[in-house]
A and B are shown apart, each in its own frame.
Chain A
Amino acid sequence: MKKNGVKMIKINSKNVDVFYGKKQALFNINLDIEENQVTALIGPSGCGKSTFLRCLNRMNDVIDICRVKGQIIINDFDINDKSCDVVRLREKIGMVFQKPNPFPKTIYENISYGPTIHGMAQSKNEMDEIVETSLKKAALWEEVKDRLHEPGTGLSGGQQQRLCIARAISVKPEVILMDEPCSALDPIATAQIEELIDELKKDHTIIIVTHSMAQAARVSQNTGFFHLGELIEHGSTDKIFKNPENKKTQDYITGRFG
């Protein structure tokens, strides 16, 4: 989004290197993410796009052998700094995974979990309201309003993924990371999620990793192309798809490899 004609940068990554043990997975990534826009990360399998995504909410911490170097600055604050508290960070940066992973609890509990642990609701009414708005934003409310207290795992795949999106937005994050959110879904559910992504970018900055070139073209405003751990090219989606500078990008988006 442009304010006074200037692009607002939400996330600013500088010289990010990632290592799994001795193997280097990302090389010197410099990528700026625009606020309230959808940024798509594309590239062949194993190119490091998911690894980069997981750097942004420090989910790589979970992996013992993984080390991240470089700066990732969000709101003027380096999240790789020792003083950064991951709990606070992940409250601000939500994540939706490749496979829908609702908690094996009720739909209501799935949504209320985040607000509960972050102390965002003072009363049951407030919590009900958070649950309702989150589900409405995720375009799931109409389908589940009569069975909020049934298990979330009983929903269909597409509904489960929207439930996960509702869960992510329940804590009002500034950024939502999506790691191939539609790869386990059928075309109809995929279309619903894409529509939703478009809607969500009004309030959130979205970064989506996808294998589908068509999806990247449909939902994103900016695109970054990764190959073998390097960021080959990034820019507006229009430019990347219509007029790429790099030969590899050209080859990839025209389906010659990957």
Chain B
Amino acid sequence: MNKNKEQLLNKRYKAEKRFRLYGQSAIFMALLFLTIFIFKIFSTGYSAFQKTWLIVPVTFDAELMMLEQNPSKEDLKDADYYDIALKSMADLDPNANEDQENELKRMVSYFFEREIKRELLNDPSLIGKTKDVYLTASDDLDQVFKGNYPRDLPEDQRRVTDYQLKIFDQLVELGKVESKFNLSFFTYPDSREAELAGIASSFMGSIFSILVCLMIAFPVAVLAAIYLEEFAPKNRFTDFIEVNINNLAAVPSIVFGLLGLGILLAVFQLPRSTPLVGGITLSLMTLPTIIIACRASLKAVPPSIREAALAMGASKMQTTMHHTVPLSMPGTLSGTIIGLAQALGETAPLILIGMVAFVNTIPGSPLDPAASLPVQIYIWAESAERGFVEKVSACIMVLLGFLIIMNLFAQIIRHKFEKKWS
């Protein structure tokens, strides 16, 4: 009898030990995956925040630029920079033949003309003089300099020629290649050229979409939640509505995209590819999330507070607006932010309403065409150039940073404003 009890006790201890072990290994696995994921993203992405520049001497030859004597500011703007730009690249190798000159030109981005122009506009006294100008290196050389490009491939499988590599190595030797912080990643819109592509357009697109989404989803959801929770009679019909709201939260996001495509674009003829349409579509998705969060936090307000107010002679409306709703706000707001964070990371519905289009302008309002951060990731991940690989990871880092800040904000609101009741 006694022995039997001891065995039972031992068994119980062992079972508990095993259970703890399972739990610990589950947490370990989760942390491991997360670490691998973050490490991968960072190790691939960090180099995108650096950009490689070639320092090339440019001679601002007035004749080649078709400039008269004493040119005005307007003249400088209209001048022809292409020839001096070409010449300064060709001058890197005085013995180059025509083909090689072409290769030399492709060592920098097609913005080289603009970069030279900007230099002169900043300092018009440069006319007739020679100055070292920073030119954006082509994405392939950028990758070579960062060590991401396999130089030992046979030449016909490489996008950089042996000749380009030779000149590039000479420049590196002379200290004419420099790596600097890649500001243009944040200020340029998307581009077909990896070295010139930035997230400005998709970042603004995301911000506008989220704002539109917030302005539509928040008031509608909060009003719906307050009515359902505090005022609506509890009957079959409201039960039915509740079930449907929960169903709505489970609808795959791509379905909302089809809705946006079929109704907002086809019926209401709203402009395609714009954050306005994206925001409205996302708000449909966010709506149930906010309603559920708001109702849950209304439910969490103790009934004793409502009774206290009612017994003081407050009307239903006063009780709700003076006591219940303010007390539920922290929960509602953090639910809203989490809903918006979900919307921010949403890709599928935006692709359907055309926000996947190539946009190389920065949107100034929700009515301008734009991409969004997750869609930008999708677009770049599809591109073949090596330069986009690191851009994808860098864009993910920006998106994750954005999400972390939003979730942190939700936490802070919850902790700071949540009232403790006795």
User: Do chains A and B stick together as partners?
Assistant: yes
Nearest opposing residue in chain A for B327, CB measure: A104
Is B313 in contact with A88, judged by CB distance below 8 angstroms?
A: yes
Q: Interface 1/0s, chain B 304-326, versus A by CB < 8 A?
A: 11111111111100100011000
Q: Interface 1/0s, chain A 160-185, versus B by CB < 8 A?
A: 10001001100100000000000000
Stretch in contact with the other chain, from B95-103, B256-264, B414-422: B414-422
**Residues of chain B contacted by A167 (CB below 8 angstroms):** 308, 312
B297 to chain A, nearest CB (A): 14
Is A171 in contact with B308, judged by CB distance below 8 angstroms?
A: no
Is A62 in contact with B307, judged by CB distance below 8 angstroms?
A: yes
- Quick check: is A95 within 8 A (CB to CB) of the other chain? yes
Is A90 in contact with B311, judged by CB distance below 8 angstroms?
A: yes
Stretch in contact with the other chain, from A38-46, A112-120, A127-135: A112-120
A143 to chain B, nearest CB (A): 17
Nearest opposing residue in chain B for A64, CB measure: B234
- Quick check: is B302 within 8 A (CB to CB) of the other chain? yes
- Quick check: is A249 within 8 A (CB to CB) of the other chain? no
**Residues of chain A contacted by B312 (CB below 8 angstroms):** 90, 94, 113-114, 117, 167-168, 171
B314 to chain A, nearest CB (A): 6
- Quick check: is A84 within 8 A (CB to CB) of the other chain? no
Is A97 in contact with B307, judged by CB distance below 8 angstroms?
A: yes
B421 to chain A, nearest CB (A): 5
**Residues of chain A contacted by B124 (CB below 8 angstroms):** none
**Residues of chain A contacted by B323 (CB below 8 angstroms):** 103
Is B311 in contact with A59, judged by CB distance below 8 angstroms?
A: yes
Q: Interface 1/0s, chain B 280-308, versus A by CB < 8 A?
A: 00000000000000000000001011111
- Quick check: is A36 within 8 A (CB to CB) of the other chain? no
- Quick check: is B71 within 8 A (CB to CB) of the other chain? no
Given contacts A64-B233, A104-B327, contact A118 B313 (CB under 8 A): yes
**Residues of chain A contacted by B315 (CB below 8 angstroms):** 87
- Quick check: is A48 within 8 A (CB to CB) of the other chain? no
A168 to chain B, nearest CB (A): 8
Is B318 in contact with A117, judged by CB distance below 8 angstroms?
A: yes
B274 to chain A, nearest CB (A): 44
B415 to chain A, nearest CB (A): 15
Looking at the complex, which one of B308, B311, B422 makes contact with A57 (CB distance below 8 Å)?
Answer: B311
**Residues of chain A contacted by B302 (CB below 8 angstroms):** 101
- Quick check: is A91 within 8 A (CB to CB) of the other chain? yes
Given contacts A104-B327, A153-B420, contact A59 B233 (CB under 8 A): no
A127 to chain B, nearest CB (A): 15
**Residues of chain B contacted by A100 (CB below 8 angstroms):** 422
- Quick check: is A99 within 8 A (CB to CB) of the other chain? yes
Is A87 in contact with B313, judged by CB distance below 8 angstroms?
A: yes
Is B305 in contact with A59, judged by CB distance below 8 angstroms?
A: no
Is A117 in contact with B311, judged by CB distance below 8 angstroms?
A: no
Give complex CA distance A113, B318 in Å.
11
Give complex CA distance A94, B304 in Å.
15
Q: Interface 1/0s, chain A 71-101, versus B by CB < 8 A?
A: 0000000000000000111110011010111
A165 to chain B, nearest CB (A): 12
Give complex CA distance A33, B248 in Å.
54
Give complex CA distance A89, B160 in Å.
88
Contacts A59-B310, A90-B310, A164-B308 aside, 7 further interface pairs with beta carbons under 8 A come to A62-B306, A64-B234, A97-B307, A102-B422, A113-B322, A114-B312, A153-B422
What are 29 A-B pairs at a CB distance below 8 A?
Answer: A57-B311, A59-B307, A62-B306, A62-B307, A62-B310, A64-B234, A87-B315, A94-B311, A97-B311, A99-B304, A101-B304, A103-B305, A103-B308, A103-B323, A104-B327, A104-B419, A104-B420, A113-B309, A113-B312, A114-B312, A114-B313, A117-B312, A117-B313, A117-B314, A117-B318, A118-B313, A160-B422, A167-B308, A171-B313
CB-based closest 6 A-B pairs: A101-B304, A95-B311, A90-B313, A91-B313, A104-B419, A114-B312
